[in-house]
Structure 1
Amino acid sequence: MNQQEVLKILNTINAAYSRFEVTDERLVLWSEMLADMDFNKVMNKLKKYIKERPFPPTIADISVQETQENQFLLKYEQWLKEGAERREHEKQSRNISKLPWQ
């Protein structure tokens, strides 16, 4: 999120809560804290917050953190597949060594 988008967030808070002041210090801090967040997701969370709460939000109240994809299940399935292939290969290797003409 860029500083212009943060300013829109702060102005929205100011419009909803008369005691919330938009200052340069607040703009700098909020810009730093919201920099890696998606503007639309934060704005949607802010609008929901405004509908439900009588006091201005903190940064934590409207933060939207992206969750990282959990690779564990994919790695586990790959491990199972590779293990099954290895076991099948070993089984076939043992069967070949037991041919009657050898």
Structure 2
Amino acid sequence: MMKRETFELVKRIAIFYDQFEVNQEKVNLWHEVFKGYTFDEIQGNLLAFVKASSFPPKVSDLISKSTISKTIPNAEETMKRTSRLKPGSEIVVQRELAKMRAILGIDKGTKDGRD
């Protein structure tokens, strides 16, 4: 998307929503996000948004929701995503387990949690 197209979109938002202000900084920043999309794509999302909301959109409201994956990752994708996570320390793990036992009413001292 060209910067002048971003300006046109921002200007249209201001027409739809009186409280929405247009300034050069907003156009510049919004363009940074929108430059990977087409004018028609964002314009279509804007028109759909205007029909459903009485409040002005945020940038994220106008980006196609199809770019966000709605599928559940398989085991390999899950391993890739979680392999970067640092495991909690033993103290944190035990504290969280104690919280879960308290919520569930499980007494750690007995085999099945009952007296």
TM-score range, shorter chain: 0.5 to 0.7
> What CA distance in whole angstroms lies between the structure 2 residues aligned with 1:48 and 1:62?
9
Query: Which structure exhibits the higher relative contact order, with contacts defined as CA atoms closer than 8 Å and separated by 6 or more residues?
Result: 1
Structure 1 portions without partners, runs of 5+: 68-102
Give the equivalent residue in structure 1 for 2:18: 18
Secondary structure (helix, strand or coil) at the match of 1:61 reads helix
Residue ranges of structure 2 left out of the alignment (5+ in a row): 68-115
Cα RMSD for the two superposed structures: 1.4
Aligned length: 67
Q: What is the distance in 2 between the residues matched to 1:25 and 1:2?
A: 15
> What secondary structure sits across from 2:57 in the alignment?
coil
Query: Could you tell me how far apart the structure 1 residues matched to 2:50 and 2:43 are?
Result: 10
Q: What is the deviation of 1:66? A: 7.0
Per-residue deviation, 1:28: 0.6
Q: What is the distance in 1 between the residues matched to 2:2 and 2:26?
A: 14
Identity of aligned residues (%): 28
The amino acid across from 1:34 in the alignment is F
CA distance in 1, matches of 2:27, 2:65: 20
**Counterpart code for 1:58:** K
Tell me the distance in 1 between the aligned counterparts of 2:9 and 2:30.
9
Q: Compute the displacement of 1:64 (Å).
A: 2.5
Q: TM-score scaled by structure 1? A: 0.62
